[in-house]
Structure 1
Amino acid sequence: MRRIMYLWLPRWPIDRRHLSQRKNIGAPAEEAPFATVADAAGRRLLAAVNPAATAAGLAPGMPLADALSFLPGLATALAKPAEDAAALRRLAEWCGRYSPWTAPDGADGVRIEITGSAHLWGGERALAADLMARLDRRGVAGRIVIADTLGAAWGMARFAEASGNVLILAPGELRAALALLPVEALRLDPITAQGLRRVGLKWVGDLYAMPRDALVRRFGETVARLLDQTLDEMPEPLSPLGEVPSRRVRLSFAEPITEPADLMLATERLTADLVPRLAREGTGARRLDLAFHRVDGRVERIRLGTARPSRDPRHLAALFKERLDTIDPGLGIEDMILAAYAVEPLPAEQIGLPGQAARNETSGIAPLLDRLGNRLGLDAVSRLEPRESHIPERASVRVAIGEALASSVAPAKAEAQGQLAPGPGSLDPRLRGDDGIRPPRPIRLFDPPEPVEAFWLLPDDPPFRFMWRRRRHRVMRADGPERIAEEWWRPGASGEVDAIRDYYRVEDEEGRRFWLFRAGLHGGD
């Protein structure tokens, strides 16, 4: 059974402003009447009011002139919806400690899917009580409703009459609880809700007996769809704020921690808890995220990737250790969550035997690539990958270690021919040219090619002397020519004679070797 927890923040713009102005989380809220003001169609209206202004009779949407005439001592400030939305997004991210399926809803709500995670907190009521207690300590007013659907939780949070700040609807209680709510609880726009009231449909229960076809013909598909979604008769997707991890582990502390040594010990414990789960599934982590939840609601993160799947706890902990100095613990870290966002199959590997090194991830080049990628980014570490082309500059491309690009020759084909696919630290024979098909190729090419002034006796003979970078070189040994024509089947091919190249491998009097080519045939321009 799907369970949704909805957090409604009726005074979020006011509470957000107080949070940003306090020097510590225990500072009292302002008691003087206060409101934020926004411009709408050339009029200045109240956007949000604090409890003191509400007690004085003010409400959002009231013109500022009327509010000042009614309460001359009202303090005002311009509304900042962009900052409110950014803070709400950070709050939704902070709620990720309860479930990875969190997202802001509108301008004053956070939706959280707690299916399968409530038991980790001792049940739904204990989970909601923990969230409400943390909000109360920060001075944020809110109301929490847990129900089977998002629509039911949204409507009950805003329109249900209840004494407490936490309301839990048991499975199967939707219809009875929603029947007493106004039609606005279905998330309808004001015009549609007014149209329903005009024909006598004032409560959600009044719509239960109405045929869906009649509702669609009279009020459109929106009313019928929202009603069915609220009653769990039609699925409603819940998109999370970010990517949902495939596996995650959490560690909570009795007291907030700030020391780097404590953070490192907690990181080692989290990696040790995650690895057995990966081992049981035969997978390894490729992309990890370590979140540090501070007591002030801010979330610090360390994100890293690996060159190949890994489930070595010491190796993963060492990667996080290199970046722990980037974490600001603030007043303390109360929760740490390690999440694996990308995992790949990783079969069991042979451990080392006496007198023989182990051929696994800890003995290869993968740990080095991980450390370099952790410092520079995996996109900055690349390797050469072959491509099927006889044009030298097209025969290979640089591929980031963190990417999984398909080669023009599949690894399965190479294995079928009894060949081993090149690893991240090896050079493919096709790049060297010693695959038995083409002459040897140099490892390094100039891009673009550098001009050379050459001299030869016969048109197709190798040059006997050439000048490069204003220095003369006398050719002692040479091989060639190797004629390479243009790939005429590619789009944009010129088809001109100058596209034909004659390549020569030469060695000068000092033993230095060069790979030269002549563009076009002898006698051309």
Structure 2
Amino acid sequence: MALCLWWPGFELELERVRTPQLVDQPLALPTPGDRRRIEMGCALAASFGVEPGMIVSQAVALCPALVLCEPDPDFHDAARDRILGILRLWSPVVEGSSDRGRLFVGVDGLERLYGPPARQIETLRARLETLSPWLASSVRVGYAPGKFAAWVAARSAKPAGSASSGRPGAAVCVAPADLAAFLARQPVDVLPVSPRTVKRLRRLGVGRLGRLVRMPEPALVSQFGADGRRALAWARGERIDRVRPEAPARPIRVALDFPSPIGQLELLHAALDRLIERALEHPRRRGKSVRGLRVSASLEGGGSWSIRAIAREPTSEPERLGVFLRSRIALDRPRRAVETLRLELFRFGPASAQAGLFDPREGAPHVPSGHWRRGTASFCRRSGARRACCGFGSAAPRLYRVLELEPESRLPERRHALMELA
């Protein structure tokens, strides 16, 4: 059994709580970058025709009173982390999702602690109310077998303050015996498949999951492939996805405060190189390569900016990490001057094989531990290359190093470059 907690428009509602003057205003959250589009809009903005994916200028033309909330990922992530902390004290099995406002809790075995499902939900609401009354009153709760059914149940719950709900943020509890009948009444939009598959199902006249269940599986597979088989398993209630517990992350965080806000990209790159070196020198990073990075900043005049990147290949070389992050910053740069720059290493891998081949401590001048710099690493690679070529005599081959430049570029020639190891 799983329990889903869902706050629709989580980021926008947080902005309303932070700024009470926005309570009755139509709000929208634009995407970062130069070509800005609407990422999320409130119900009031949707009544004017504002939809996700719409260009900002078009949305403002439809709703002149639309208020654009600048993205503040640090504030939104901090609120989500506080909710996760409350949930982990209530149950050891807690899992997040790509949507900040949708969280899952495993409830198997909690009957002995908190009683039946209705009592469990009341206990959880009381804990959320200690954090914020808004969190307890606006949450929609779904209780059902598996994450998918729990999410559909939370989606079916009445919104906060609805007259028919009887209480704010009513919950929907689905017993295992009632799962098939409950799912049969739901629209096909709830299926976690591609939007193209949902659109094709609607063109075929399949608007509810009950209609989908009556279709033969071979026909669905021939038309939709793996999406058709998965959709049928979810619609029948045969696929029960368990809640996977997530261990609290222990990322490595470093920060740099500037005496005066900086807006020049060159100064930002230099500060980022400094933060990379400090993060790699952290004791918890030793013996591990880096795969997941997050760069965030506090902007002048309020607000924040952040980018999250996952490297294709884990590495512990500061040059490669710097090139990788600079390419991401070029696609989504801060819109205002930066007051504080932060770097977070949150995903690690095994020790880099390249570092083991050319050991930086062999054949290099003595440098105290934790103080290696680019010049020392370059010397070690060159000396290692010379030792590797000595065994070939006059027919020694040339050794090259693959340098990652723009891994996401459409042009293959710009993704990597060969640099000779002299």
Tell me the TM-score normalised to structure 2 length.
0.49
Task: Between the two structures, name the one with larger relative contact order (CA 8 Å, sep ≥ 6).
Answer: 2
Looking at secondary structure, tell me which structure has more helix per residue.
2
**TM-score, length basis structure 1:** 0.40
More strand by share: 1
